[in-house]
């Protein structure tokens, strides 16, 4: 029987195709491409070879050449799911998400269900910003393929994009159950946990990823950032510098280190690093913002303002730049613009107070019928300073209610009883009356148009309790009684600049023949012995709230300390007080001067240069000796 030339040709073609497949599989891409090309030259409708040529062309790094070849396969055989998946995959790699979605949609709906088609379609929809649809596809597909880690990974990504953090976390944890060594998923989980302020868990996720791949710069950067937020300054810096060593071209790496140095009050080191970032990318608004903060710390206020305004020109809705600009404007006495900018504080995700959800409109500063609520925010010193605005607010409403932390309620009620403040005082979480309007304390200066010339500076607007217990009696031995406080709340953003080691106060205890009282509360109270002997009374363990502290301050002749709530209280009581402030002070003390309109009885002792607390202590010691 004569041979069948058609059959022989077919057999040879199949053998060649098998050779091409083997070369492709083994990574011999040029050999595979040559065989595929020869087969297509013989028959340009031979779809297996045409498909293989498209795939190998893509693998060789020429997706723009591969896509037309694969599209021809799909045109020849539109119902072929494999061809559609290949077109979608290559189109996605080229950033052509819409073309990928068009190719993939029929494949994703085909039966039986093909996991690759659905995953690629979800990715394409994500690339088009249609994350809700992408998430719905992933939810359904994980039901069909519950043990496919890549599906759970992408379901987590889609859930994160549509702000469903719970599903994102569950999806990524399921992916890690299936593939515990997936560093990309561990990193994604860390980013999510950090955004939720679950910082120790975020750090653990990054550490787990680094245990698998220790030389990944982005993981080191992420861990360094989280450790910085946890206050682990030294370890954070080690990781951030390692990241730069591994990836010296990364602008993000340089920026993260610069921002870290700003956070931990090393502006001299931060400035050159942030300038390098901006030399390479002048549009980094975040670097401009941090450079501004560093320059303020160094007293370079004009350039700092330029940085903030440039940052806002690049990103007008940047709350950090608005807030930092507010700080600078208030520090330099430009209060109308400063108070307006200060309202951006509520947009900052890491701001110390959360914006309250109160069932009443924000007060506009004008006369209002009915009940007005003014409520404390931020620290105790802030509440003590700004409760003075109750006098102005009460004149503009029928009824005023003051809401404050429980530690201040007795103190504020005593002031209303003494006729120093108007209104009714309630504690946080007490039931609220029906309200016509409400305003947070630190919005009141802006609402009421306060300038440096119109500060409501009443010499006394708080009072000690009328019936303080004997436990609060300070021994009198015929000497001056001087209260000392050396540390504020560590939660305050400038606490590193304002709080001091108590040992620095030793010269004061030796400067004059006086009796000293420790007014230090909180964790720093345990450091009292470092200041030396000479204390006749210690409030630690004695006071229950700020009314008790007021009772003690009332017995003193003078209060000396850093910028903390105790000094605000002394000023509000009209007690002579000397405040030690850093070279870059809190905005309320302005950039210059040794007095403040906020408290007539308060005297300011400023650092002449950054970090020179010994010089401040020496000036105070001299003032004490002068009487």
Q: Tokens 């200060």 sit at which residue? A: 342
Q: Which of 373, 368, 438, 360 is nearest to 396 (CA)?
A: 368
Task: Supply the pTM of this predicted model.
Answer: 0.86
Which pLDDT score is estimated for 554? Answer: 96
Look at phi and psi of residue 272 and say left if phi exceeds 0, alpha if psi is from -120 to 50, else beta. Answer: alpha
Distance from the Cα of residue 464 to its chain's centroid: 39
pLDDT greater at residue 280 or residue 533: 280
CA atoms within 13 A on the CB side of 509: 19
> In CATH, what number is assigned to the domain containing residue 415?
3.40.50
Answer yes or no: do 435 and 323 share one domain.
no
Residue 5 has pLDDT above 70, yes or no: no
Answer yes or no: do 57 and 176 share one domain.
yes
Q: Kindly report the number of other CB atoms within 10 A of residue 421's CB atom.
A: 24
Per the structure, how many domains does the chain have?
Answer: 4
Please indicate, yes or no, if residue 621 is contained in any of the structural domains: yes
Confidence bin at 447 (pLDDT 50/70/90):
very high
CA torsion 148-149-150-156 (nearest 10°) is 120
Of the three residues 406, 430, 447, the one that is the final residue of a domain is 447
Give me the mean pLDDT over the 105-131 stretch: 94
Answer yes or no: do 88 and 151 share one domain.
yes
Answer yes or no: do 68 and 15 share one domain.
yes
Answer yes or no: do 12 and 77 share one domain.
yes
Q: Which of 382, 385, 363 is nearest to 372 (CA)?
A: 363
Answer yes or no: do 399 and 517 share one domain.
no
> In CATH, what number is assigned to the domain containing residue 280?
1.25.40.10
Please indicate, yes or no, if residue 232 is contained in any of the structural domains: no
Q: What single string gives the DSSP state of each residue in 232-299?
A: -HHHHHHHHHHHHHH-TT-HHHHHHHHHHHHHTT-HHHHHHHHHHHHHH-TT-HHHHHHHHHHHHHTT
**Strand bridging mode 535-538 / 514-518:** parallel
Q: Which of 603, 387, 610 is nearest to 498 (CA)?
A: 610
Please indicate, yes or no, if residue 415 is contained in any of the structural domains: yes
Which pLDDT score is estimated for 57? Answer: 93
Q: Which of 331, 350, 347 is nearest to 339 (CA)?
A: 331
Dihedral sign for Cα 231, 538, 540, 603, please: negative
Length of the chain: 627
Q: What kind and span of H or E run contains 399?
A: strand 397-404
Q: Which of 568, 519, 567 is nearest to 540 (CA)?
A: 519
Answer yes or no: do 298 and 163 share one domain.
no
Residue 123 has pLDDT above 70, yes or no: yes
Which pLDDT score is estimated for 493? Answer: 73
C-alpha distance from residue 311 to each of 258, 282, 306, 596 (Å): 16, 10, 9, 31
Residue 115 has pLDDT above 90, yes or no: yes
Please indicate, yes or no, if residue 152 is contained in any of the structural domains: yes
B/e letters for 148-167, b = 16+ CB within 10 Å, e = fewer, are bbbbbbbbbbbbbbeebeeb
Answer yes or no: do 92 and 149 share one domain.
yes
Q: What kind and span of H or E run contains 375?
A: strand 368-375
CA–CA gap between residue 501 and residue 520 (Å, rounded): 12
Contacts of residue 526, Cβ cutoff 8 Å, sequence gap at least 6:
540
> In CATH, what number is assigned to the domain containing residue 495?
3.40.50.2000
Of the three residues 151, 181, 196, the one that is the final residue of a domain is 196
Q: What is the pLDDT of residues 311-326, one digit of tens each?
A: 999 999 999 999 999 9
Q: What is the pLDDT of residues 241-271, one digit of tens each?
A: 999 999 999 999 999 999 999 999 999 999 9
Answer yes or no: do 549 and 598 share one domain.
yes
| Strand spans (E) along 472-622 | 480-485, 514-518, 535-538, 558-562, 577-581, 602-606
CA–CA gap between residue 68 and residue 75 (Å, rounded): 10
Please indicate, yes or no, if residue 219 is contained in any of the structural domains: no
Answer yes or no: do 409 and 491 share one domain.
no
Give me the mean pLDDT over the 604-621 stretch: 96
- Domain membership of residue 335 as a residue range: 252-347
Answer yes or no: do 34 and 176 share one domain.
yes
Q: What is the pLDDT of residues 387-431, one digit of tens each?
A: 999 999 999 999 999 999 999 999 999 999 999 999 999 999 999
The pair of three-digit structure tokens given for residue 534, joined into one six-digit string: 């000479």
Confidence bin at 3 (pLDDT 50/70/90):
very low
Answer yes or no: do 499 and 376 share one domain.
no
């Amino acid at each position: 029987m004569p041979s069948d030339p058609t059959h022989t040709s077919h057999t040879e073609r199949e053998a060649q195709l098998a050779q091409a497949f083997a070369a492709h599989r083994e990574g011999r891409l040029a050999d595979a491409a040559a065989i595929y090309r020869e087969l297509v030259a013989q028959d340009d409708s031979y779809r297996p070879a045409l498909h293989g040529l498209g795939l190998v062309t893509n693998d060789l790094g020429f997706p723009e050449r591969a896509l037309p070849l694969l599209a021809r396969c799909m045109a020849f055989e539109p119902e072929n799911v494999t061809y559609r998946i290949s077109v979608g995959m290559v189109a996605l790699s080229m950033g052509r998400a819409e073309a990928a979605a068009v190719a993939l949609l029929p494949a994703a709906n085909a039966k039986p269900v093909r996991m690759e088609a659905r995953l690629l379609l979800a990715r394409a929809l994500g690339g088009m910003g249609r994350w809700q649809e992408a998430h719905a596809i992933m939810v359904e597909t994980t039901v069909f393929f519950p043990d496919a880690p890549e599906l759970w990974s992408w379901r987590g990504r889609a859930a994160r994009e549509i702000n469903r953090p719970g599903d994102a976390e569950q999806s990524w944890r399921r992916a890690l159950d299936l593939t515990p060594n997936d560093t990309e998923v561990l990193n994604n989980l860390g980013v999510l946990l950090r955004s939720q302020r679950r910082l120790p868990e975020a750090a653990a996720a990054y550490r787990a990823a680094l245990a698998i791949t220790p030389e990944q710069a982005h993981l080191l950067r992420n861990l360094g950032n989280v450790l910085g937020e946890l206050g682990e300054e030294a370890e954070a810096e080690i990781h951030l510098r390692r990241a730069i060593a591994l990836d010296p071209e990364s602008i993000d790496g340089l920026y993260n280190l610069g921002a870290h140095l700003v956070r931990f009050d090393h502006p001299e080191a931060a400035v050159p690093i942030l300038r390098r970032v901006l030399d390479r990318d002048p549009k980094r608004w975040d670097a401009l913002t941090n450079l501004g903060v560093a320059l303020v710390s160094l007293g370079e206020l004009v350039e700092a303002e330029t940085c903030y305004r440039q940052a806002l020109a690049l990103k007008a809705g940047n709350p950090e730049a608005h807030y930092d600009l507010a700080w600078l404007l208030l520090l330099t006495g430009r209060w109308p613009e400063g108070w307006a900018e200060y309202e951006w504080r509520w947009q900052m995700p890491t701001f110390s107070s959360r914006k309250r959800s109160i069932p009443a409109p924000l007060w506009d500063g004008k006369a209002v019928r009915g009940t007005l609520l003014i409520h404390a925010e931020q620290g105790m010193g802030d509440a003590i300073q700004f409760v003075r605005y109750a006098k102005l607010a009460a004149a503009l409403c029928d009824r005023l209610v003051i809401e404050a932390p429980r530690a201040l309620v007795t103190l504020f009620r005593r002031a209303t009883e003494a006729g120093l403040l108007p209104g009714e005082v309630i504690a946080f979480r007490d039931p609220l009356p029906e309200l016509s309007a409400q305003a947070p304390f630190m919005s009141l200066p802006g609402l009421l148009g306060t300038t440096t010339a119109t500060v409501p500076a009443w010499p006394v607007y708080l009072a000690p309790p009328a019936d303080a217990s004997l436990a609060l009696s300070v021994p009198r031995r015929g000497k001056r009684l001087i209260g000392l406080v050396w540390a504020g709340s560590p939660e305050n953003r400038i606490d590193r600049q304002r709080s001091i080691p108590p040992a620095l106060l030793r010269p004061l205890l030796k400067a004059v023949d006086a009796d000293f009282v420790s007014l230090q509360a909180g964790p720093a109270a345990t450091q009292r012995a470092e200041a030396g002997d000479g204390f006749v009374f210690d409030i630690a363990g004695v006071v229950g709230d700020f009314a008790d502290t007021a009772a003690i301050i009332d017995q003193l002749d003078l209060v000396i300390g850093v910028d903390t709530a105790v000094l605000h209280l002394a000023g509000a009581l009209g007690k002579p007080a000397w405040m030690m402030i850093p070279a870059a002070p809190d905005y309320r003390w302005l950039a210059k001067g040794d007095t403040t309109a906020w408290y007539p009885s308060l005297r300011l002792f400023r650092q002449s240069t950054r970090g020179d607390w010994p010089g401040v202590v020496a000036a105070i010691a001299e003032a004490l000796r002068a009487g």
